[in-house]
């Protein structure tokens, strides 16, 4: 990749210590002669700054790289804005788990120095496109890096819906809903619902039922190019919701159709060269941190 000349900086206000981290980050970049484009929604956190500002959605066509300061949720929101422009994202983790934002504040300068020298790994993650159709007309669209979730909204009643994959009927289910997750999202909501952890390189999608009425309804892993269709059964008395990454919601009516497929444009993520998916699982999911050795006689 060419050297980064203009870097966008965004994040989410309210995160602990975000002001201090933003100040260190912008100072570090400017000292190295890099032009910084600061998200105007958080610019007030740095009074007296000398950065240019813009709305986050404008960073895509103007930046070589966008750095997100916050948790994975902050990166999810930024990802949907940057994907159409092919701009890579790099995350500084101020959240809890941080499967996507893997630079720690204590290592900010050292890790960024390596990234600016070209010592990094560029990976791609696919997103899902969700489209809601009502009476033959599209009434809502959204995309998701982690998951598309059908759920009851404010209601405590179960949903009845039908699932088809690649135009083949799969089942009619009564449950609290369904999580449709990418490999990236397999360590998020889908994991808490009992779904499998999928390596990010997999070209696959997992469907995880939420409290199904029939215990034989288990998580289902399908090809990443599958096209899924959910039909909210007309006999439902509630109005469920389809949620994308927990940040964009579309209200549904009985009879609505939700079409879900892979988004053509991938997300580009930068990781430090020492990034290790399995080490991340060990530390963030509290797996046993040490290797087990067997004494030889």
Percent helix, strand, coil in the chain (nearest 5)? 20, 35, 45
Residue 174, marked binder? yes
Catalytic residue status for 113:
no
Residue 176 in marked binding region = yes
Instruction: Determine the length of the chain.
Output: 297
Which listed residue (72, 102, 129, 256) is catalytic?
72
247 belongs to an annotated ligand binding site: yes
Cα distance between residue 23 and residue 116, in whole Å? 18
Displacement of CA 219 from its chain's centroid (Å): 20
Query: Which DSSP state fits 85?
Result: G
Annotated ligand binding at 142? The verdict is no
**134 among the known binding-site residues?**
no
Q: Is 12 annotated as a binding residue?
A: no
| Residue 157 is labelled as binding a ligand | yes
Transcribe 259-278 into DSSP letters.
EEEE-SSPEEEEEETT--HH
Q: Is 146 marked as a binding-site residue?
A: yes
The answer to whether 44 is annotated as binding is: no
Residues 6+ apart with CB under 8 A from 131: 138, 140, 141, 258, 259, 260
Q: To which H or E segment does residue 138 belong?
A: strand 137-144
Annotated binding residue 98: no
Rounded Cα–Cα distance for residues 92 and 78 (Å):
13
- Tell whether 6 is in a known binding site: no
What is the distance in angstroms between the CA of the first residue and the CA of the last residue of the chain? 52
Is position 188 annotated in a ligand binding site?
yes
User: Looking at the DSSP assignment, which residues form a beta bridge with residue 36?
Assistant: 7
Binding-site annotation, residues: 72-73, 146-147, 157, 174, 176, 187-192, 247
Catalytically active residues are 72
Known binding residues for NAD(+): 72-73, 146-147, 157, 174, 176, 187-192, 247
């Amino acid at each position: 990749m060419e050297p980064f000349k203009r870097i966008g900086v965004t994040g989410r206000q309210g995160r602990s210590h975000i002001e201090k981290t933003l100040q260190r980050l912008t100072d570090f970049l400017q000292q190295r002669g890099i032009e910084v484009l600061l998200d105007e929604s958080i610019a007030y956190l740095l009074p007296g700054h000398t950065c240019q500002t813009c709305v986050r959605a404008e960073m895509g066509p103007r930046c070589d790289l966008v750095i997100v300061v916050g948790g994975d949720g902050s990166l999810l929101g930024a990802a949907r804005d940057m994907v159409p422009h092919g701009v890579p994202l790099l995350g500084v983790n101020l959240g809890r788990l941080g499967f996507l934002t893997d630079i720690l504040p204590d290592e900010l300068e050292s890790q960024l120095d390596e990234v600016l020298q070209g010592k990094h790994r560029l990976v791609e993650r696919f997103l899902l496109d969700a489209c809601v159709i009502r009476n033959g007309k599209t009434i809502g669209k959204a995309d998701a890096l982690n998951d598309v979730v059908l759920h009851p909204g404010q209601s405590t009643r179960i949903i009845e819906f039908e699932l088809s994959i690649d135009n083949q009927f799969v089942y009619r289910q009564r449950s609290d809903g369904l999580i449709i997750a990418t490999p990236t999202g397999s360590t998020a909501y889908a994991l808490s619902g009992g779904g499998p952890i999928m390596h990010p390189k997999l070209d696959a999608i997992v469907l995880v039922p939420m409290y199904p009425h029939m215990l034989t309804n288990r998580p289902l892993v399908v090809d990443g190019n599958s096209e899924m269709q959910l039909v909210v059964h007309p006999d439902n008395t509630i109005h469920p919701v389809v949620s994308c990454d927990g940040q964009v919601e579309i209200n549904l009516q009985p009879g609505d159709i939700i079409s879900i497929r892979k988004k053509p444009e991938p997300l580009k993520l930068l990781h430090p060269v020492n990034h290790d998916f399995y080490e991340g699982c060990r530390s963030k999911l509290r797996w046993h941190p040490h290797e087990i050795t067997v004494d030889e006689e």
